[in-house]
Chains A and B, each alone.
Chain A
Amino acid sequence: MAEPTVTDDLTGALTQPPLGRTVRAVADRELGTHLLETRGIHWIHAANGDPYATVLRGQADDPYPAYERVRARGALSFSPTGSWVTADHALAASILCSTDFGVSGADGAPVPQQVLSYGEGCPLEREQALPAAGDVPESGQRGVVEGIHRETLEGLAPDPSASYAFELLGGFVRPAVTAAAAAVLGVPADRRADFADLLERLRPLSDSLLAPQSLRTVRAADGALAELTALLADSDDSPGALLSALGVTAAVQLTGNAVLALLAHPEQWRELCARPGLAAAAVEETLRYDPPVQLDARVVRVGTELAGRRLPAGAHVVVLTAATGRDPEVFTDPERFDLARPDAAAHLALHPAGPYGPVASLVRLQAEVALRTLAGRFPGLRQAGDVLRPRRAPVGRGPLSVPVSSS
């Protein structure tokens, strides 16, 4: 496919005018039309050869070839969708660490490249203050998480010597991570089914900010956000609790991506089974190799210079975090998944300054415990069928289902 002429002229870009109001304030006809028009624009740009539009379109199981097409265009390129895009690790690190860039615009309002806004109550639309006590989970959390993961797996497979075939996400990862988060957050026992249901409706939340979902999906997420906020209102730190709950999706995706990478490299899976202490390394290598949050969008706060370009305030810059983890300037053999990689932690995933920063350690803990628990009980685990991946999910990456068996 021919690459389109590279332009950085935003006035010539084909973009959708912003809604200007939160999802809740917009009638179905207007919101639905906006979603269809935006998705249509992404299809048009993708068909014309724009790799970032291909990413936003989210029709491919494997987005990494599109990331490489972005990388081939240089450190910073302009997409006709109206966003600047980078796959360059060094440039990305400078963007993510700089106070010149924010999760939202200087006035807190969403920029036009953000498809919609859920408003004040959506933690993914703004910076999160880092917890004052540092980003280390209490040791008590580990015990709770370990106990629930173990119980979930034992409930699924009571006899350690028997053969099992099950669906990894629905059978173990999702219920274990969700129940552990519910316990950590003190969700009452009689509300835990609701908690799980709300998180399922919120799975596309991060995607919906950049890639238009169906009207029904957006309405369901908006309603679920309000219900989850109410459910967690009694928590000591309810904004933090809401973010921790949203971290469940990232933890489930991170665990799923880690298991898929390990099962695709059976010698590494065996290594993990032999040395369960490698679970933390497996989590870091997965964050580099196939992170659960694939990209981080930022807004220029004050006009700035970037990769030799002058970017005005309000410009939208998208860091393809997943692609920076495979930057050959930084990582040797970036396409290889390797538990022994010494510099895996140099990845930029779940960046401290991003929306998931404050809950990154809980996300890591959940994934690490899940891997350790799974490897301990099922050293003979293998993939037993096709992976199902979502569509329209350019931000949150993780399998929806993975049939596995163990004997």
Chain B
Amino acid sequence: MRVLLTSFAHHTHYYGLVPLAWALLAAGHEVRVASQPALTDTITGSGLAAVPVGTDHLIHEYRVRMAGEPRPNHPAIAFDEARPEPLDWDHALGIEAILAPYFYLLANNDSMVDDLVDFARSWQPDLVLWEPTTYAGAVAAQVTGAAHARVLWGPDVMGSARRKFVALRDQQPPEHREDPTAEWLTWTLDRYGASFEEELLTGQFTIDPTPPSLRLDTGLPTVGMRYVPYNGTSVVPDWLSEPPARPRVCLTLGVSAREVLGGDGVSQGDILEALADLDIELVATLDASQRAEIRNYPKHTRFTDFVPMHALLPSCSAIIHHGGAGTYATAVINAVPQVMLAELWDAPVKARAVAEQGAGFFLPPAELTPQAVRDAVVRILDDPSVATAAHRLREETFGDPTPAGIVPELERLAAQHRRPPADARH
């Protein structure tokens, strides 16, 4: 079959699709990956055929124009306040009212959607797999009749929030109802003679790489898939061949947070200082300018601009990170206990779930002190129950089929959901 994968141009959002694309390719299917031009080299670098669509998105430019608004940790768009879902209608609507124009519409700019639909009309995919905010994929599938599914990068906060939003919306008097995302997709689909349906926001089914005990219950049809890491093109450094002489701890506050979101929100120097007297080997991903500001740190510290997590984490006893999708999932499959300084998007949801499983610690912004980070690391090194819980999560992950293992199921589901094009369905 023909499988079209799509993600808006953001490399870490794209990486989650790559191993599944390889599996489909290796199983003999035709595979294309569509994104804005800025991602082309990243796609070809992952060994897949790129289809550049539209012009580049302006998410970063908007954020600059808007002087940092909306902040990703803005109270109006918090997905987690000790809860996986928004609580009331105003909160739920506020998330949509801000995310629709300032994320979804930007990530799926008009020219990108138009070109993707054109490509799908020409190439006629049987299945479209889309990153969970790249609704352009659902639009292209709706127009052409392809089956379509989301490929998640973490617990399904989007599906969960949407389900709650719809329930709250439908409790409102009709005069009060508002649905920004559906409005946008309605006028967008109208351009191609197709119509909106709720299924476009969550996919006909969902491929979820999260271990079952960390998953959010959305009631949506889900195919569990074992997470397989892809961290981009990488070279394994020599020093990783040597077993560490003391417990190895990784500190990484996330490539995405540093490159795009700007500012880490916490002083890395303070954290390094708090860890300075521990007998550990610290691997800290800091660039040269960040390193220049560091004064005090553990004696055995290795600074590095970048190291592929899938190569580093098997030798680690603990990891301190911000809750990014790839880092979190790679830590889970390598049974590494996690200290999560989580504040953005779905990170607090993941951190809470890992902490509840006993496989790590969640330090929300309000509780984040250098001492708290140190305490969590010491606890992980001293208390074997944390590592045991982390191993349990790893075993659970391995209970799901690999990307190659779900290909037959995707073939079956694609055949089941495949329809004629929208203009022939009336």
Contact = CB atoms under 8 A, between A and B. Distances in A.
A47 interface: yes
B175 A390 contact: yes
A391 B101 CA distance: 19
A40 interface: yes
A298 interface: no
Interface stretch (A25-33, A69-77, A187-195, A338-346): A25-33
A33 B176 CA distance: 20
A47 B76 CA distance: 6
Contacts of A400: 175
B98 interface: yes
Interface stretch (B179-187, B359-367, B376-384): B179-187
A43 B97 contact: yes
A168 B93 CA distance: 30
**Which residue, of A12, A36, A216, has the highest number of chain B Cβ atoms within 10 A?**
A36
A37 B69 CA distance: 12
A388 interface: yes
Contacts of B191: 28-29
Nearest to B191: A29
B97 A39 contact: yes
A406 interface: no
Please classify the interface of chain B as helix (H, G, I), strand (E, B), loop, or mixed, using the class held by over half of its residues: helix
Contact of A40 (B97, B176, B178, B183): B97
Given A14-B69, A40-B98, A40-B101, A47 B75 contact: yes
Interface string B188-208: 101100000000000000000
Interface size class of B (residues with CB under 8 A): 20 to 34
Interface residues of A, number: 23
B187 A44 contact: no
A383 interface: no
Contact of B176 (A48, A216, A391): A391
Nearest to B179: A214
Interface string B156-193: 00000000000000000101101010011001101100
B70 to A, nearest CB: 5
Contacts of A388: 173, 175
B100 interface: yes
B187 A29 contact: yes
A36 B94 contact: no
A29 B108 CA distance: 12
Given A37-B102, A40-B102, A28 B76 contact: no
B260 interface: no
A39 B97 CA distance: 7
A59 B191 CA distance: 31
A278 interface: no
A268 to B, nearest CB: 29
B258 to A, nearest CB: 24
Given A40-B101, A47-B76, A391 B178 contact: yes
Given A36-B105, A390-B175, A29 B98 contact: no
A391 B175 contact: yes
A98 B185 CA distance: 46
A39 B90 contact: no
B49 interface: no
A33 B74 CA distance: 22
B245 interface: no
Given A32-B184, A36-B184, A37-B102, A14 B97 contact: no
A215 interface: yes
A29 B188 contact: yes
B69 to A, nearest CB: 5
A39 B101 contact: yes
B67 interface: yes
A41 B74 CA distance: 13
Contacts of B94: 43, 47
Contacts of B240: none
A44 B102 CA distance: 11
Interface in A179-229: 214-216
B220 interface: no
B67 A36 contact: no
Interface in A274-300: none
B411 interface: no
Given A39-B101, A44-B69, A388-B173, A28 B184 contact: no
Given A37-B102, A39-B180, A400-B175, A59 B90 contact: yes
A136 B100 CA distance: 49
Contacts of A59: 90, 93
Interface string A357-396: 0000000000000000000000000000000101110000
A255 B184 CA distance: 36
B110 interface: yes
B74 A36 contact: no
B192 to A, nearest CB: 12
B66 interface: yes
Contacts of B180: 36, 39-40
Nearest to B103: A40
A43 B95 CA distance: 9
B183 A12 contact: no
A28 B188 CA distance: 9
A80 to B, nearest CB: 10
A12 B183 CA distance: 30
Contacts of B105: 33, 36-37
A37 B101 contact: yes
Interface in B57-86: 66-67, 69-70, 74-76
A214 B178 contact: yes
A33 B186 CA distance: 12
Contact of A43 (B98, B173, B188): B98
A14 B69 CA distance: 9
Interface string B35-47: 0000000000000
A28 B105 CA distance: 14
B183 A32 contact: yes
Contacts of B90: 59
Interface of B: 66-67, 69-70, 74-76, 90, 93-94, 97-98, 100-102, 105, 110, 173, 175-176, 178, 180, 183-184, 187-188, 190-191
29 contacts: A14-B69, A28-B187, A28-B191, A29-B110, A29-B187, A32-B184, A32-B187, A33-B105, A33-B184, A36-B100, A36-B180, A37-B102, A37-B105, A39-B97, A39-B180, A40-B70, A40-B97, A40-B100, A44-B70, A44-B76, A47-B75, A48-B69, A214-B183, A215-B187, A388-B175, A390-B175, A390-B176, A391-B175, A400-B175
Given A36-B180, A44-B69, 20 more contacts: A28-B191, A29-B187, A36-B97, A36-B100, A36-B105, A36-B183, A36-B184, A37-B101, A44-B74, A47-B74, A47-B76, A47-B94, A214-B178, A214-B183, A215-B187, A216-B183, A388-B175, A391-B175, A391-B178, A400-B175
Give me the 3 closest cross-chain CB pairs, A-B, nearest first.
A47-B76, A36-B101, A40-B101
